[in-house]
Chain A
Amino acid sequence: MKRKLYELAHSRAGDKGNILMLSLIPYQEKDYSLLCKEVTAEKVKQHLKDIVDGEIIRYEVSNIAALQFVCHQALLGGVTTSLGMDTHGKSLSFALLEMEIEVKEAVIGGK
């Protein structure tokens, strides 16, 4: 069945210039391998196609069971000169969490 990432994981957005970073951290560390398999850089690029113009690089940060997506050309020029509402892109962690992935059984995140 399809599940929103929001149900399985949490995320924090950061910015440097026109680069947006999005972490993706499963509530349960056992779900890390599922996220590694399902949440590829290509799928995230497709999901965020109207936001991220450049390349997306995915880092597997297995020491803390988390993924980091580094999205280039993502902030309408960057915090200082962007005309957007959210110039830092701080709200975009929740854009990532709207992405849906295929999961075999119902997995409910959160505490």
Chain B
Amino acid sequence: MIRIGSGAGFSGDRLEPALILAEKGNLDYLVLECLAERTIALAQKRKKENSSLGYDPLLEKRMELLLPALLQNGVRLITNMGAANPVGGAQKVVEIARRLGLSVKVAAVTGDDVLAFLDTDAPATETGKPLNSHGRVLSANAYLGVEAILPALEKEADIILTGRVADPSLFLAPMIHHFGWSADDTDLLARGTIIGHLLECGGQIAGGYYADPGKKEVPNLANLGFPYAEIKADGSAIITKIPDTGGVINLMTAKEQLLYEVINPHEYITPDVIADFTSARLREVGPDQVEVTGGKGKERPKTLKVSVGYHAGFIGEGEISYAGSNALGRAQLAGEIMRKRLEESFDELRIDYIGVSSTHRNTFGEWNKPYEVRLRVAAKADSLGEAAKIGEEVESLYTNGPAGGGGARKYTHEVVGIVSSLIPREEIGVSVVVKESGLVEEKTV
């Protein structure tokens, strides 16, 4: 049996749940999944400005916190915090270890970055149009599978940093390494992938993104405990969490997470296997304990998915609030004024009434009129200066708009769009660089 914990479900996730897992989980492995689709394009930009950067911005904080407990308890860490620069990230981990007086072996997995040789005239999967027609291409990263991580595990690295790797592969790799599962045993690969899928979003299987007071109660969400799995050689597992942490793991949280972000439950495609989620069984076997068994798989696809980040211009936003009698009426008048003043200059203009229809884009059923409404205006622009005009116009409603407009705010941000394509596996060259804090030794295998 091995125990694998999930200490982060996205780049900005809470820091301390991973430490609690490393200290009290009696884990063999801890996984931190920190790389959303856009994150790597932003990381690529940081690397361009400074070639030693481009790894996850929170890498330093997380590693300073975790390294002592990981090394003391013999927990190996697997994370995609390498982002656009796993080797630079590994160097940083070695520096932190030296500062803390710790001896550590760090492996950096590279090969996902295909920007240099990707055919950007090829069509995007989503639109059918050439990849480079969407905007200036900023990054192109293939989703690697377990075969990228296994060599690093074989090198006995304490810390493994990757760039773009399919999220479940971060969990499946240590299972294959530990149990010696064959690459042909697609059912075992599918079971490991299902376990990885259940764990990969950190707190989401433990009651995060789940609670609804009165309907779905979750105790102590302020101290949500993150999950770990006790996995057997047959690919079955019990998913649980550390006692006395917040949250809940039950059949309902597990069902929600099993289907989370799944496009086709019969064929969940990863670089390692095509897993059939409809063949898995979930069972509550104790408090905060859900057993996962079964699962069938088919042979992995011949191509890998490539996620391509491109510059998609800028977004400008402005908001202002109205409250009390006729709040909605005054907000709507403000919205009409904004439309009149902006619609000729901006192709894509969005006007939302927060408190009424901004998140669901309309209102279902009959509801009482809201006491307060916040007008939100958003538009896309080619330059930051143009985007800023949106907020400036909303702000001008203070003195030029309806009565009682307050709390105006303005924002701008650069937009990175994502499209994808496919690349044959044989075009990818994976390599592992090992760095050690004790010795001056660097090897490439």
Q: Say whether A70 contacts B263, CB under 8 Å.
A: yes
Q: Say whether B364 contacts A95, CB under 8 Å.
A: yes
**Contacts A10-B212, A10-B252 given: A61-B418 contact, CB under 8 Å?**
no
Using an 8 Å CB-CB cutoff, how does the interface string of B317-349 with A read, 1 for contact, 0 for none? 000000000000000000000000000000010
Which A residues are in CB contact (< 8 Å) with B62? none
Using an 8 Å CB-CB cutoff, how does the interface string of B272-292 with A read, 1 for contact, 0 for none? 000001111110000000000
Q: Say whether B38 contacts A83, CB under 8 Å.
A: no
Q: Say whether A12 contacts B418, CB under 8 Å.
A: no
Which A residues are in CB contact (< 8 Å) with B358? 84-86
Which B residues are in CB contact (< 8 Å) with A91? 359-360
Q: Report if B424 contacts A (CB, 8 A).
A: no
Q: Report if A62 contacts B (CB, 8 A).
A: yes
- Contact check: which of B264, B279, B364 meets A63 at CB < 8 Å? B279
- Contact check: which of A6, A11, A61, A109 meets B265 at CB < 8 Å? A61
A47 to B360, CA, bound (A): 12
Q: Report if B416 contacts A (CB, 8 A).
A: yes
B123 to chain A, nearest CB (A): 15
A17 to B279, CA, bound (A): 26
A99 to B348, CA, bound (A): 30
Q: Say whether A51 contacts B312, CB under 8 Å.
A: no
B:285-314 near A, CB below 8 Å: 312
A66 to B265, CA, bound (A): 11
Q: Report if B380 contacts A (CB, 8 A).
A: yes
A18 to B125, CA, bound (A): 12
Which B residues are in CB contact (< 8 Å) with A95? 360, 364
Which B residues are in CB contact (< 8 Å) with A111? 215-217
Q: Say whether B258 contacts A64, CB under 8 Å.
A: yes
B:335-377 near A, CB below 8 Å: 348, 350, 352, 354, 358-362, 364-365, 376
A109 to B212, CA, bound (A): 13
Q: Say whether B281 contacts A63, CB under 8 Å.
A: yes
A89 to B128, CA, bound (A): 24
Using an 8 Å CB-CB cutoff, how does the interface string of A77-100 with B read, 1 for contact, 0 for none? 011110111100011101100110
Q: Say whether A15 contacts B380, CB under 8 Å.
A: no
Q: Say whether A12 contacts B259, CB under 8 Å.
A: yes
Which A residues are in CB contact (< 8 Å) with B352? 84-85
Most chain B CB within a 10 A radius of its CB, from A47, A99, A110: A110
Q: Report if B423 contacts A (CB, 8 A).
A: no
User: Who on chain A is nearest to B360 by CB?
Assistant: A95
Q: Report if A19 contacts B (CB, 8 A).
A: yes
Q: Report if A50 contacts B (CB, 8 A).
A: yes
Which A residues are in CB contact (< 8 Å) with B420? 17
User: Who on chain A is nearest to B38 by CB?
Assistant: A80
Which A residues are in CB contact (< 8 Å) with B209? 12, 90
User: Who on chain A is nearest to B294 by CB?
Assistant: A63
Q: Say whether B277 contacts A61, CB under 8 Å.
A: yes
Q: Report if B266 contacts A (CB, 8 A).
A: yes
Q: Say whether B280 contacts A63, CB under 8 Å.
A: yes
Using an 8 Å CB-CB cutoff, how does the interface string of A57-83 with B read, 1 for contact, 0 for none? 001011110101010000000111101
B107 to chain A, nearest CB (A): 30
User: Who on chain A is nearest to B254 by CB?
Assistant: A64
**Contacts A10-B256, A85-B354 given: A80-B416 contact, CB under 8 Å?**
yes
Which A residues are in CB contact (< 8 Å) with B398? none
- Contact check: which of B265, B278, B282, B418 meets A80 at CB < 8 Å? B418
B55 to chain A, nearest CB (A): 21
Which B residues are in CB contact (< 8 Å) with A27? 252
A92 to B264, CA, bound (A): 19
B68 to chain A, nearest CB (A): 35
Q: Say whether A80 contacts B415, CB under 8 Å.
A: yes
User: Who on chain B is nearest to A25 by CB?
Assistant: B255
- Contact check: which of B210, B277, B364 meets A98 at CB < 8 Å? B364
**Contacts A63-B280, A80-B418, A83-B350 given: A50-B262 contact, CB under 8 Å?**
no
Most chain B CB within a 10 A radius of its CB, from A10, A61, A81: A81
B16 to chain A, nearest CB (A): 24
Known: A6-B215, A14-B260. 13 other contacts (CB 8 A): A12-B259, A14-B262, A16-B263, A19-B263, A21-B263, A64-B258, A68-B265, A70-B263, A80-B418, A81-B415, A83-B315, A91-B359, A109-B215
Interchain residue pairs with CB less than 8 A apart (26): A14-B259, A16-B263, A25-B256, A25-B259, A51-B360, A59-B266, A61-B265, A61-B278, A64-B258, A70-B264, A79-B38, A80-B37, A80-B312, A81-B380, A83-B348, A83-B378, A83-B380, A84-B358, A84-B361, A85-B358, A86-B359, A92-B359, A95-B360, A95-B364, A99-B364, A109-B215
